[in-house]
Each structure stands twice: as C-alpha cells, then as structure tokens.
C-alpha cells in the first residue's frame, strides 16, 4: 500500500510518466506473472550454491532492473538543488527547555533529518538551510521562518519544512527518554536516528536512505521509494522494512521481521535465539540471513534463477522441487532443540537465498 501511494504521488507531481507508473504498479502487484527462464540445477549443499555456472539473465528480471535505473535517475534530477538556481544559506535554531513531550512528527520536503538524544531536558532543532527564490525586498532568513513550522507542547513536538524551494538539513537533539512514537517523513533526503527508544518509530522517504542505529522499542517501520534501509543493532518486537530500489541491511533482535525490495538485496542477522517469524522478498537481488547456530529453524525458500545455501550442521529436508520456472526448498534445522521454531520464508526471483550460522 505504501509503495502504491509513493508511485501515485510521483505521478501526480510529474516525476514519472503514466507509462512508468503503470509499469511500477505492475511490478508490485503482478510479480507472480513474470515469466523468467532459467538454466541450472538445485542442490542443498553445505556452504555451496547450486546451479550458478551457466545462467542466462532472464529477460523480465533484466528489464525490471534497467527500468528502475531509469526511473531513479529521473526522480533524482527532476527539480532539486541546481534546477532552483542560486540559493542563500541560513542557520537557525529552534529550541525549548524542560520539555515533556512523548510524540514527534517531523516532515522535511527537501533535506535531511538526524535525530540524536542528549542528557539535557531540552529539545533543539538546528537547521542549516539553503533558501531558493528569495523575493526581492525580503531576506532568506525571513523566508525560511515563514515557510518552516515548529511547535512543542506538553505532548508533542512538530517540525515541518514543506516548501521544496528550500533545502533544510536538520539535526534534532531530544532528551534521552522513552517516547510513544517518532514519525519522520522526507521527500528528497536521508533520515538517521540513533540511540533512541520509542514504542513506535515510523520513517518514510521518497528519495533518501534510512539509517536506524542502536534503537529499541515495540514497532519500527521504514519505507523508501529509492534508498537503502539500515537497522543496526536494534531491538524491536516487530520490524518492517520496504524499499522499491535499494538494499536492506538489518541486524536485529526481533520476533517479527518483514522486508521487501524490488531492485536490491536483503541482508539480515538475528542476534537472539528465540521464537519468531521472518519474511523476505526481492525481485532482482539476493537474500542472505544469519541465525544463532543453536536455533531451531523452519525454513521455506523460493527462487527462479538463483540457488540455495545452508551451512547449518543438522538439516532435515522436507520438500525440494526443481522445475524450469521455480525452485523450492523446505527444511528444518536443529530439529527438536527448541519449540516452537523460528519460521523463515524467503523468496528471491533472480538471486540466491543464503541461510548461515551467525559468526
């Protein structure tokens, strides 16, 4: 649903054509209809990938990757920075003392957002901005203040920079507390949040990477149209990470993980041996996972062109299929060591699926 909204937004704003939007929607909704040819065999071998010596790149997968490259270039060059003409720099700081808010809502159309905790009971939004198209007779600072919203009350902190004719790089320092929810949205720019705790963290970008480092909470959702997603040393009950174009890298202690990308690979390392569920899907990349070696793992792996790797010592293969347009493998590792087992579903259309013991 989030990806569809992004595609329609880009279409509405003229970033992509109607034909390109139709192709993107097709790639999202009808991936099962993609007809890909493959050469090679499927074998489960310790530390060995099968069927990779003479694989011809499938036409549909190749077209999807090339199409995404074209769309990404279109988005990244359409109307940012240099197309606005000259700019004037502005440095401005919003701040409040002795704050008690539990929620944050941050939105920056053009620019970056960095959130860091500190040991003070104050909030500070430090902005380094480039202001374009300053009216004659006015100043860049006045234009920036008129087009930027900041408010902090007893329950919520809000910061909005929604005018695309200014680029705002905001560093937001917040008290080192537990929060109910943190929400950050950018159109053109990355988001980074570190060392924070919140029940819910929601981050969404259209063009920009998302990095979440050393954070804890209950739910985290990171969504990008074009950009990499990174969760490093994080602890959440539920993790959702989706991007249309870019890799996903996760190092998490989580019981539920769902991640999907169309053009990119997925890497995920689980740091605890506990019951849970993970679902990974990619069209043009590979999937690589790492689990504690003592974990009982119930896995279902699918691919069309790639192969499978599993280096667990004790593996019981339940079902294996080697067809022209599909490869399927279902197995249990470390059967009987724990209950219930961790369940893994991983599907890579044109890449391999790798299941490793954590180093």
- Residue 57 has what pLDDT? 44
Cα angle 326, 328, 330 (rounded to 5 degrees) comes to: 170
Say if residue 340 is preceded by a cis peptide, omega within 30 of 0.
yes
- Residue 245 has what pLDDT? 93
What does each C-alpha distance from 48 to 286, 309, 345 come to in angstroms? 15, 6, 20
What does each C-alpha distance from 233 to 77, 194, 296, 345 come to in angstroms? 34, 10, 22, 22
Residue numbers of the chain with a pLDDT score lower than 70: 1-6, 8-23, 25-83
Would you kindly state where each structural domain of the chain is located, as residue ranges? 2-39+57-81, 82-188
- Residue 152 has what pLDDT? 97
- Residue 52 has what pLDDT? 39
CA distance 65 to 297: 32
DSSP assignment of 111-177: S-EEEEEESSS-EEEEEEEEEESPPTTS-HHHHHHHTEEEEE-SSEEEEEE--TTEEEEEEEEEES-
- Residue 27 has what pLDDT? 63
pTM score, whole prediction: 0.81
The two structure tokens encoding residue 207: 């063009």
- Residue 136 has what pLDDT? 85
The two structure tokens encoding residue 296: 């009982």
Instruction: Label the pairing between strands 327-333 and 315-322.
Output: antiparallel
CB 356 within 8 A of CB 288: yes
The two structure tokens encoding residue 237: 């009950």
CB 278 within 8 A of CB 342: yes
């Amino acid at each position: 649903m989030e990806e569809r909204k992004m595609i329609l937004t880009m279409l509405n704003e003229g970033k992509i054509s109607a034909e390109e939007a139709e192709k993107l929607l097709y790639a999202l909704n009808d991936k099962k209809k993609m007809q890909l040819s493959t050469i090679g065999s499927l074998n489960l071998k310790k530390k060995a990938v099968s069927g990779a010596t003479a694989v011809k790149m499938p036409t549909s997968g190749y077209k999807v990757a090339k199409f995404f490259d074209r769309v990404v270039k279109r988005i990244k060059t359409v109307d940012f920075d240099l197309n606005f003409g000259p700019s004037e720099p502005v440095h401005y700081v919003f701040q409040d003392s002795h704050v008690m808010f539990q929620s944050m809502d941050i939105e920056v159309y053009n620019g970056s957002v960095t959130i860091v905790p500190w040991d003070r009971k104050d909030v500070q939004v430090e902005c380094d901005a480039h202001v374009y198209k300053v009216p004659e007779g006015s100043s860049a600072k006045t234009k920036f203040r008129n087009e930027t919203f900041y408010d902090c009350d007893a329950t919520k902190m809000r910061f909005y920079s929604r005018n695309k004719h200014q680029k705002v790089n905001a560093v937001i320092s917040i008290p080192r507390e537990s929060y109910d929810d943190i929400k950050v949205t950018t159109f053109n720019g990355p988001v980074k949040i570190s060392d924070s705790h919140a029940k819910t963290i929601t981050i969404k970008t259209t063009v920009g990477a998302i990095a979440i480092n050393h954070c804890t909470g209950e739910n985290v959702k990171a969504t990008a149209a074009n950009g990499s997603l990174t969760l490093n040393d994080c602890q959440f009950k539920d993790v959702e990470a989706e991007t249309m174009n870019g890799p996903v890298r996760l190092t998490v202690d989580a019981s539920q993980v769902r991640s999907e990308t169309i053009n990119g690979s997925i890497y995920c390392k689980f740091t605890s041996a506990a019951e849970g569920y993970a679902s990974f899907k990619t069209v043009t990349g590979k999937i690589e996972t790492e689990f504690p070696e003592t974990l009982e793992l119930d896995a279902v792996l699918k691919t069309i062109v790639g192969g499978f790797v599993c280096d667990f010592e004790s593996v019981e293969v339940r079902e294996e299929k080697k067809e022209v347009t599909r490869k399927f493998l279902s197995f249990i590792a470390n059967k009987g060591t724990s209950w219930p087992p961790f369940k893994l579903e991983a599907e890579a259309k044109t890449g391999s699926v790798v299941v490793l013991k954590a180093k």
